[in-house]
Amino acid sequence: MPATTATAPGKIILFGEHAVVYGRPAIAAPVTQVRAEAIVEDGEWAGIRLHAPDLGRDYWLSEALEDDPYARAVLLVAETTRLDPLPNLSITVRSNIPIASGLGSGAAMAAAVIRALTRHLGYLNQTTDEQVSALTYQVEKLLHGTPSGIDNTVVAYERPVFFVRQQPINRIETLSVKGPLRLLVADTGVVSITKDVVGDVRRQWQAEPRRFEQLFDHCSRVAQVARRALENGDVGRLGQLMVENQNYLREMTVSSPELERLIGTAMATGAIGAKLSGAGRGGNMIALVEEEVEAAVRAALVSAGATNVLTSVLT
């Protein structure tokens, strides 16, 4: 059988990070300029071989540790398809999404593996966006403890989404953005472990529930207003809301000197708005820019210490 390939994009959170864990809305969008790719081929040996050349890893599924996300993705597909045992396979995962930077690299790699493997096995009814998102969320729990569910949703659907974590099922609404809206995504170069930052915010919330609930409510209002601004193409209002959201994230103690330096640089060089994106304390910031100042803002971000700057255009 020919090899089966699937990809999934990176993602950025535009509004509502951290508050989304506590049932408030968030808005996120795919970053299609960076992607994870999974290639599934029939194996010439007994068993399943996992290749992750970007990480320098090459090993058997049977030897994988319990917290191995690639192995978890494969085993979830086996459970869903009820194939026991799985056929002999070679699974290769590659990605140009920066790791531990808030761009959803873990979710994208898991989604790519799940989609490629399910297709290769012939279970096309299991490759819907909803199904891929649900299985990717199970991998995300392994990676992040109590994930919001937004990463797996965006990388599976590949659309901007308005997301609310709720029971019995999450509220997921794809957005029509009146664009184009240009975003620069700048990496601080500081590794940020989402699980650790989310856990620390939870400890602060437990210690000061009233103050943090108010902060989460403010973020909720910002996200809801931002949704209307996105749909109307109100660039100026979006910029204001980004600055406001960053103020609340700063109060949650999830910003950092590196993020603040890049945010300040972007604003001083002509960005309409700027904020951190993702867990914070490192990782990425985003800046909303007009096309005529994009090059200047990009150059300033690099001079200020950004290790990588991507352009993401929402349409």
What is the per-residue pLDDT for 36? Answer: 97
Domain count, the chain: 2
Q: What is the mean pLDDT of the chain?
A: 94
pLDDT at 126: 81
pLDDT per residue as tens digits for the range 288-304: 999 999 999 999 999 99
Beta strand 284-289 pairing with 308-314: unpaired
pLDDT tens-place string over residues 54-93: 989 999 999 999 889 999 999 999 999 999 899 999 999 9
Q: Which domain holds residue 279?
A: 181-314
Same domain, 43 and 78: yes
Tokens 């990176």 belong to residue: 10
Do 165 and 193 lie in one domain? The reply is no
Q: What is the pTM of this model?
A: 0.84
Asked if pLDDT for residue 101 goes beyond 80, the answer is no
| CATH code for the domain in which residue 237 is found | 3.30.70.890
- Token reading at 219: 């973020």
pLDDT at residue 25, as a whole number: 97
**184-207: average pLDDT:** 93
Of 147, 174, 201, the residue at which a domain comes to its end is 174
In a shared domain, residues 157 and 263: no
Residues 102 and 219 placed together within one structural domain of the fold? no
Name the domain boundary from 129, 157, 174: 174
Q: State how far the Cα of 287 lies from the Cα of 182, in Å rounded to an integer.
A: 8
User: How many C-beta atoms surround the C-beta of residue 16 within 10 A?
Assistant: 28
**pLDDT over threshold 90, residue 144:** no
pLDDT score of 84: 83
Which of 137, 152, 174 is the last residue before a domain boundary?
A: 174
| Residue of 94, 85, 1 lying closest to 48 (CA atoms) | 85
- Do 134 and 235 lie in a common domain? no
Q: Both 113 and 196 in a single domain?
A: no
Does the pLDDT value for residue 100 go beyond 80?
A: no
Placement of tokens 């990070």 in the chain:
17
At residue 264 the predicted structure's pLDDT band, cuts being 50, 70 and 90, is: very high
Are residue 136 and residue 252 in the same domain, yes or no? Answer: no
Report the percentage of the chain scoring pLDDT > 70.
Answer: 99
Instruction: Return d(Cα 223, Cα 238) in angstroms, integer.
Output: 10
The catalytically annotated residue of 54, 129, 151, 200 is 151
CATH number at residue 15: 3.30.230.10
Please report, for residues 38, 54, 70, 182, the alpha-carbon distance to residue 51 in angstroms, rounded to integers and kept in the order given.
10, 9, 10, 35
Distance separating alpha carbons of residues 32 and 144, to the nearest angstrom: 23
Residue 102 has pLDDT above 80, yes or no: no
Please check the confidence at residue 145 and state whether its pLDDT lies above 90.
Answer: no
If asked whether residues 114 and 208 sit together in one domain, one would say no
The single-letter code of the amino acid at 75 is L
| Interval 146-164: pLDDT, tens | 777 888 999 999 999 999 9
149 and 222 assigned to the same domain = no
Strand 48-52 and strand 89-95: the pairing is parallel
Does residue 221 sit in the same domain as residue 163? no
- 207 three-class SS: helix
Q: For residue 127, name the pLDDT band (cuts at 50, 70, 90).
A: confident
| Helix runs in the chain, H state only | 69-81, 105-120, 129-144, 150-157, 194-207, 209-232, 235-251, 257-268, 291-303
151 catalytically annotated: yes
Orientation of helix 150-157 relative to helix 129-144, angle to 10°: 140
> Are 139 and 236 contained in the same domain?
no
Within 13 Å and on the Cβ side, how many CA atoms surround 278? 34
Domain co-membership, 91 together with 213: no
